[in-house]
Amino acid sequence: MQRKLSLLLAFFLSACVLSAQELKWIAGSAAYYQQEAGQIVKVTLPDMAKETVVTAGQLKPEGAQALKVRDYFFSADNRYVLIYTNAKRVWRYDTRGDYWVLDRTSGKLRQIGKDRPASTLMFAKLSPDGRLAAYVSEHNLYVEEISSGKVRQLTQTGGSRKLIHGTFDWVYEEEFDCRDGFRWSPDSKKIAYWQIDANQVRDFLMINTTDSIYPFTIPVEYPKVGEPPSPYRIGVADISSGKTRWMDIPGDPRNTYLPRMEWAANATELLVQQLNRKQNESQLLLCDAASGKTRTIYTERDEAWIDLKADGDGGYWDWFSRGSAFLWTSEKDGWRHIYRISRDGKSETLLTPGNYDVISLLRADESGGYLYFTASPDNATQEYLYRVRMDGGGQPELLSPPGQKGSHGYQISPDARYAFHSFSNYFTRRMTEWVTLPGHKPLNEKEAIPANMEAPEGIRTEFFQVTTADGVTMDGWLTKPDNFDPSKKYPILFYVYTEPAGATVRDRFGIGRNRLYDGDMAKDGYIYASLDGRGTPAPKGRAWRKAIYRQIGVINIRDQAMGAQEMFRRWNWIDTSRVAVHGWSGGGSATLNLLFQYPEIYKTGIAVAAVADQLTYDNIYQERYMGLPQENREDFVKGSPITYVKNLRGHLLYIHGTGDDNVHYQNAEKLIDELIKYNKQFQVMPYPNRSHGIFEGEGTGRHLSTLFTNFLRAHCPPGGRVTTP
């Protein structure tokens, strides 16, 4: 689900001068493209010289208004520009729309796929030689000649909405981050693509009762935990003939997954990653595109699960030495490290040795001989830039200024000479600058981020650590009320997530602020706090992250409760009679579990879009972290909030969108049934036809904020209270 904290994390992503989507590096040079005043501009470093390469006037179809550019892509020779516009949402993101191609030589602008229904094209890509464009429309894959507009349809769904080519079904998109499902070969003669057959996956029927007098259902192919995956195939389509050669992938496609696939640094072979059903065994397969023959070159196993991350600069893997080796990320030695693997899989070299986790691989500079990555060996709440030699013979070198304590982000040029640097911490709004590498010197001193930063006086937010009775040391933050008086006792509101898909204790701007609260919590007299326990994706080593395996709803909940108790022992200005907790999605589940399992600690809870019963969620997420219910169903029951409903003593507000395709509203009704069964009084707010983020519809955000605030104030009153001797 990634059960993302989308609503609250959005607050942390404050505006900047240049965003990741706007910056597009030009291969092999220190220059990039960006949108500016309706046009596309080339910027060359280090002097920031600008050249307009596409004007707004060139993007105006005859007799129509200029295109509103959502994204753009240049051909390898820079002659053609592919423009993405009129974007529409598909589940989480706006991944379908219309595409146009501008010929910069002739100035001609023409629409691609103009005979297809409006806003149905997905992931259009120019061929490496620039002659063709390929795209998906309504689950089929098409190729179109740029010059003539001639179209060839490469796949056929056979009339089924569930036979999917070149993209993915709901669960692959949600849990594997798989959306774009086809790849041009380097020689422009073939396209490799996924076929997902969701015909064997049952539909979950969401009910729309407001958009017409008679309600109607919205089917979503959704495999619940314990249900088999959608079968898959990998095909290679020959562009000239239109014929597809299917790869001979070993294993049962109804009991395995294929989440990653790329051309293997040539036009003749594919590299494919296959996971078993439990996602604790990964195999890398090398496939011959002409014959379909496949061989396993590398296998990895984990007692819990294997994480998937897109680590490459331009794909899933970085290739080196003319395709003789690639980079691979693994936790096999107890830390998340980068390895160099030979093409045949027979040799490997650890490139990032040490007792620390690589957070993100940012750039592999083969000519310079360095890997650039982020890590934070000494503080799991922060993130810094490092580099290490690619021969495996050196120690990591810190490049971020040590006086800038917090979270750093980088977009590094292909030649690794320059980077767009962003920085924030809990008291500093996001700042940006251009720097040289490896020296990290600002290109413009006037726009440079200060090398050393100290928290200003009066800052109310602070980071801390607590060690629980179980010997678990947890990171946390809290924000004290205005005019704090340690002789008084204040109510505390905990913000929780505490599952493998997200961490809440990060040293970045926005920490300590609650966007759901209508007003200023600190001014009103609340303590606001959060703790990250075992199972959260902090850079604390494999053992920390994998401790939660088969124990979601148990070990993470105990860590939260024990951490809260340590805070109460340390700070007697916390009023233990006024303890509240809130969370969304996985955090909503944690809120329910804390309220039900530890009613002596948590007196008030506000849970949004929670998984009340783990057996209702999708197979990929739940089985990855919990195993198969056919083998250990008792773990799913033990970790589900509905198991503990009878223990409720405090005040509960439950909120859920009835149109939630991710965590189904079914969870709300199962929870309500149990609450009724035990005569537990509570409040519930269903938001009609709202999705997992509960943002659709006029007035929704304001209503949700008012609801949240009024309930909190009523059942966990704000303000300091004088303690009696």
The 10 Å Cβ neighbour count of residue 211 is 9
| Residue 612 predicted with pLDDT over 50 | yes
CATH for 394: 2.140.10.30
Length of the chain, in residues: 725
In the sheet that 269-276 helps form, which strands lie side by side, from edge to edge?
Answer: 256-263, 269-276, 281-288, 294-301
- The backbone torsions φ and ψ at residue 682, rounded to the nearest 5 degrees and listed phi first, read -160, 175
Decide if 200 is inside a domain: no
Same domain, 473 and 620: yes
Predicted confidence band of residue 508 (pLDDT cuts 50, 70, 90): very high
**pLDDT value of position 658:** 97
Same domain, 588 and 711: yes
**pLDDT value of position 394:** 81
The residue behind tokens 């986790």 is 357
> Which amino acid is located at 29 in the chain?
S
The 10s digit of each residue's pLDDT in 182-197 is: 999 999 999 999 999 9
Higher-scoring residue by pLDDT: 422, 29 = 422
| Least confident piece of the model among 10-24, 111-125, 260-274, 588-602 | 10-24
Decide if 336 is inside a domain: yes
| Residue 222 predicted with pLDDT over 90 | yes
SS3 435: strand
Higher-scoring residue by pLDDT: 308, 603 = 603
Q: Side-chain half-sphere of 58: how many Cα atoms within 13 Å?
A: 18
Higher-scoring residue by pLDDT: 177, 21 = 177
**Strands (E) located in 640-713:** 651-657, 683-687
**pLDDT value of position 263:** 98
**pLDDT value of position 14:** 33
pLDDT, mean over the chain: 94
Q: How far, in Å, CA of 612 to CA of 108, rounded?
A: 56
SS3 690: coil
Same domain, 518 and 667: yes
**pLDDT value of position 315:** 59
The mean pLDDT of 256-262, rounded to a whole number, is 97
Same domain, 569 and 663: yes
The mean pLDDT of 509-528, rounded to a whole number, is 95
The mean pLDDT of 12-27, rounded to a whole number, is 54
Decide if 175 is inside a domain: no
Same domain, 669 and 607: yes
How many folded domains does the chain comprise?
2
Same domain, 617 and 526: yes
DSSP 27: T
Same domain, 422 and 467: no
Decide if 74 is inside a domain: no
**pLDDT value of position 703:** 98
Q: Last residue of some domain: 424, 455, 486?
A: 455
- The backbone torsions φ and ψ at residue 480, rounded to the nearest 5 degrees and listed phi first, read -85, 160
Distances from the Cα of 34 to the Cα of 18, 42, 107, 236, 369, angstroms: 8, 7, 20, 34, 29
The mean pLDDT of 606-631, rounded to a whole number, is 98
Residues 6+ apart with CB under 8 A from 526: 481, 490, 491, 492, 493, 718
Same domain, 395 and 319: yes
Q: Last residue of some domain: 436, 455, 474?
A: 455
- The backbone torsions φ and ψ at residue 442, rounded to the nearest 5 degrees and listed phi first, read -65, 140
Give the rounded percent of residues in the chain with a pLDDT score beyond 70. 96
Q: How far, in Å, CA of 1 to CA of 106, rounded?
A: 46
Q: Which of 454, 478, 453 is nearest to 464 (CA)?
A: 478
Decide if 229 is inside a domain: no
Decide if 492 is inside a domain: yes
Give yes or no for a contact between 485 and 528, defined as CB atoms under 8 angstroms apart.
no
**Strands (E) located in 437-508:** 461-467, 473-479, 488-495
Q: How far, in Å, CA of 541 to CA of 506, rounded?
A: 16
Q: Which of 165, 131, 167, 136 is nearest to 150 (CA)?
A: 131
CB-count burial class (<10 Å; 0-12, 13-18, 19+) for 452: exposed
Task: State both tokens at 414.
Answer: 């292909």
| Residue 314 predicted with pLDDT over 60 | no
Same domain, 548 and 656: yes
| Residue 309 predicted with pLDDT over 70 | no
Same domain, 329 and 367: yes
DSSP per-residue letters across 300-365? EE-SS-------SSSSS--EETTTTEEEEEE-TTSS-EEEEEETTSS-EEESS-SSS-EEEEEEEE
Same domain, 435 and 472: no
Decide if 154 is inside a domain: no
Decide if 233 is inside a domain: no
Stated pTM of the model: 0.94
The 10s digit of each residue's pLDDT in 226-254 is: 999 999 999 999 999 999 999 999 999 99
| Residue 7 predicted with pLDDT over 70 | no
Q: Last residue of some domain: 430, 455, 480?
A: 455
Give yes or no for a contact between 201 and 230, defined as CB atoms under 8 angstroms apart.
yes
Domain residue limits at 390 = 302-455
CB-count burial class (<10 Å; 0-12, 13-18, 19+) for 719: middle
Predicted confidence band of residue 725 (pLDDT cuts 50, 70, 90): low
CATH for 517: 3.40.50.1820
**pLDDT value of position 313:** 47
Same domain, 465 and 530: yes
